[in-house]
């Protein structure tokens, strides 16, 4: 098994057509992952410092604003988080009075989530800063470069099933 793997590694071409030795530091998928993690850390620090929110909490608030009343199970796929992460965020947001839970009148196990007025205020304040925050997170890119990066990412996302 190890021999097959080694053979595949030595014959696999990199993203750069003429090169046959893959330098991990230049391997584009790993660079995208590393850059994403860096941006995620910076964004998380900003959210925590200025709003007391985690990234999952912000994603939950944003999704509730877009979708209206939904359950924890419905939120997960929309924001790309598992049910446990969504449940933790919902617990913190409920304790902070940023979202409200509504029980189903006939089945108390079914709970719908909604933004509270305080949640809307926090979300509005954060959204007012998003453009500046993007500039701060990507200071080396001008507006046109950020637009182009967004377009390239959209192309990758559109074809994500064919990539894997």
Question: pLDDT by residue (tens digit) across 87-118?
Answer: 999 999 999 999 999 887 777 778 889 999 99
Strand-pairing partners, residue 111, are 103
Mean pLDDT for 140-151 is: 92
Q: How far apart are CA 115 and CA 99, in angstroms?
A: 4
Task: Report pLDDT digits (tens) over 71-82.
Answer: 888 898 999 999
Give the start-to-end residue ranges of the domains of the chain: 76-136
Strands (E) located in the chain: 99-103, 111-115
Spatial CA neighbour of 129 closest among 40, 39, 41, 51? 51
Q: How far apart are CA 151 and CA 28, in angstroms?
A: 17
CA distances (Å), 124 to each of 24, 53, 75, 141, 148, in order?
Answer: 41, 14, 20, 26, 27
Mean pLDDT for 51-67 is: 94
CB half-sphere exposure, 52, CA atoms < 13 A: 8
Q: How far apart are CA 123 and CA 94, in angstroms?
A: 15
Decide yes or no: CATH 1.10.10.10 for domain 76-136. yes
């Amino acid at each position: 098994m190890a021999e097959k793997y080694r053979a595949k590694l030595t014959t696999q071409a990199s993203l750069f057509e003429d090169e046959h030795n893959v330098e991990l530091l230049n391997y584009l998928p790993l660079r995208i992952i590393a850059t994403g993690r860096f941006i995620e850390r910076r964004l998380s620090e900003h959210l925590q410092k200025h709003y007391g929110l985690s990234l999952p909490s912000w994603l939950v608030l944003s999704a509730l604003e877009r979708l209206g009343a939904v359950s924890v199970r419905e939120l997960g796929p929309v924001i790309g988080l598992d049910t446990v992460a969504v449940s933790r965020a919902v617990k913190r947001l409920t304790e902070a009075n940023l979202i409200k839970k509504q029980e189903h009148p006939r089945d108390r196990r079914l709970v719908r989530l909604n933004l509270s007025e305080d949640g809307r205020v926090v979300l509005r304040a954060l959204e007012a800063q998003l453009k500046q925050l993007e500039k701060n997170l990507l200071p080396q890119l001008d507006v046109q470069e950020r637009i182009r990066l967004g377009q390239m990412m959209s192309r990758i996302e559109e074809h994500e099933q064919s990539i894997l």
